[in-house]
A and B are shown apart, each in its own frame.
Chain A
């Protein structure tokens, strides 16, 4: 029988926001648990910072190693750390004892447990935006972020015939990190539309005075000097061929097909390049599944073209006791994330009676100023790197829901069959019902329906997600400790005799 753990604050996610939030809360006397899915802290941006085999710091760069500055304060803070733990449910109304706050269901090593928390800070961060192009489900095609995780956590680099494609700073960052490790990708196909720079220049003042400018330009220069960059790519396809003998990649079980080449159009010319790996990336979006399942309202961000939770200046949401810190509350980057974590923690400390409002306000002055500096210049980036329409709104046989293999044509057609929203679409086509629970398809489906109906994505809405937000086995659930209450609880109608 496993005892339930209790705390005042549960922080979910050990990226910069979560680490900073847990540290700050614990420093102010809040009994805090930091729970994270990975085996070591860092989230995605600082993934594997305590365990990476890449010891030469010049390869990953100083921005990556900045993450280390969050570790020592966390270790000293007194917060409890729970790694390798995946949250699958958060309960408020079905808890046995309401004075204990939330009841959180999570699993460690295949064992389901519960813990109680008065307050929760969700610091679950972002995920990569889906990039639905023809052939994106072929073996050999993956996201640039995933490739970067392999680099950070295992020191793995791709072999010959690697192409990067998409838009956004991450593509250039990873190209640069590969160069530092002695790997030159064959090409970087930049899908930023021509003329977009002009549109973004409206926000250039913010960017010119931001900390991103100097670093960004230096990195760009180094990549441009060594890697073939194709600008203004307007069309992109991953083309299959028979999986080659001797290639380490997985074979497609159905027809032995894998990535063989990449066809793209830029400046009116179409070209095909042989390729073994295609690494796609077009920005990151908040991962809203846990927030949505707990009842946090979402709003559509017109610039970043994604759903984001509605949060106040402390990360507070419409659900009392639940706040959000970091990119999970709206994309603002790693530097901003740690400051948002501190701000959320100060508000929580105040709400738990550890700080007066005046003390909270005094302590938050510095993180708030740092946050404002950290987001300077983001509007420029966000405008410049907004994912282009043709790569967000696929047509024809391009797969939209990867789990259930639903195509763009099916989704578009189904709107006219009387499915005006994603939940009807889900019930009719099964898109969003697979193991990823809509993470790969949600924004695409919302935007496709909006386009077909000629209404805004806000009006269309999003999937209605419930717990479990991550899969668990029936056996794990069955082994949850029983309480007298759960044994006695009223079962519905007895079967007639």
Chain B
């Protein structure tokens, strides 16, 4: 029995949203993956992010994936038996001054040039009508009315439990030590013994570069800790999520009245000790942005702060797709600040690659090969062979 328990058709390293989503989509296709998670499901980025479900402000390469993911979000209860706390109150990116207006207008033009119409310009009056609490000097913004936010921990849990109900397995508190390919099988050495599978998926988040390095395809991953603050519950004053343009801000009020303040300023993180330390001078800068945009927030009470340990890639887009050095190895990592909404679709992409060898979505820009000098043909081979 032990022997059976230590093998699986697919081993997924990392039990965050991307790992759990991959497990779910594979399970739906009848493939019962085994997820190996070093802490507990959603312990890191997946459990502590801002929960933004946005197609707004995506890197051009991410837009088609994000729009496809939104289709899953709109029916999330059908997929995972939980509404995940998804509130669809819109997301807007506001312009504080002329420079911001120019930035947003240019952005809109780029979107239109590529045939994307989901982002919409709204003028100052409409911004103030939708968000009465915002500073009167606001100049306008870009909005996606169908965007919103959800509960990251709850969402990741839902994907995990649905995947398990369909046959996926999860082991928590297990550390992967070493990986080796031998006789068509992945030998995954852990601190609880050896596991084997023909196919391996790297969803190890801020630790994924260690796996990539073992595979001979090192990547310049930066483990970062974007900081969040949350206030005590306040009377309702905000429907959509508000993002900054010229200065970083992510600002939302949840159904329970608490206000979540992010924006991507960075804490100190130590990924070996799972430890973070908030930088309060940086948080003070963020607090100034909030108080400038929403003057009444000066009296709001900060109840706690935190920072997850997340994976950032230098070009701001993740790594998705097959390995460039090994057969039967797939990557999905590097999503800091933009991974939550994409979780549902990226799991499907990886699952499709595994079960059918292809995906309908354009993932070439996310290839791990982009971090290597030369050899673009390597990637071509992997797509066709």
Contact = CB atoms under 8 A, between A and B. Distances in A.
B301 A490 contact: no
Interface in B74-129: 93, 103, 106-107, 110
A482 B280 CA distance: 11
Contacts of B229: 474
Contacts of B307: 466
A428 B158 CA distance: 11
A495 B57 contact: yes
B383 to A, nearest CB: 25
Interface residues of A, number: 47
A467 interface: yes
Interface in B148-195: 153-154, 157, 161
Interface string A401-437: 0000000000000000010110110011010011101
Given A485-B281, A486-B285, A495-B243, A478 B291 contact: yes
A466 B280 CA distance: 12
A489 B232 CA distance: 28
Interface in A440-465: none
A89 B277 CA distance: 10
A342 B248 CA distance: 47
Nearest to B232: A435
Chain B binding surface, main DSSP class: mixed
Contacts of B299: 473-475
A467 B280 contact: yes
Contact of B153 (A91, A428, A471): A428
B380 to A, nearest CB: 27
A427 B290 contact: no
Given A89-B278, A428-B157, A492-B264, A433 B304 contact: yes
Contacts of B103: 497
A96 B226 CA distance: 18
B316 A496 contact: yes
Secondary structure of the A contact surface, majority rule: loop
Interface string A89-116: 1011110100000000100000010100
A493 B47 CA distance: 21
Interface in B295-310: 297-307
B280 A105 contact: yes
Contacts of A471: 232, 301-303
A496 B58 contact: yes
Contact of B266 (A475, A477, A492): A492
Interface string A34-56: 00000000000000000000000
Contacts of A485: 281
Contacts of B53: none
Contact of A487 (B161, B224, B267, B285): B285
A489 B302 CA distance: 23
A467 B106 CA distance: 39
Interface residues of B, number: 63
Given A94-B278, A471-B301, A496-B58, A478 B284 contact: yes
A114 B154 CA distance: 37
B264 A424 contact: no
Interface string B43-79: 1000100000000011110000000000000000000
A433 B302 contact: no
Nearest to B291: A478
A418 B58 CA distance: 34
B337 interface: yes
Interface in A253-290: none
A311 interface: no
B276 interface: yes
A479 B280 CA distance: 12
B338 to A, nearest CB: 8
22 contacts: A91-B277, A91-B280, A92-B277, A94-B268, A94-B277, A94-B279, A105-B280, A112-B284, A421-B40, A427-B47, A466-B276, A466-B307, A468-B305, A471-B232, A473-B299, A473-B300, A478-B291, A478-B298, A489-B265, A492-B248, A492-B264, A496-B107
Across the A-B interface, give the 5 residue pairs with the lowest CB-CB distance, nearest first.
A475-B298, A486-B281, A492-B264, A94-B279, A478-B287
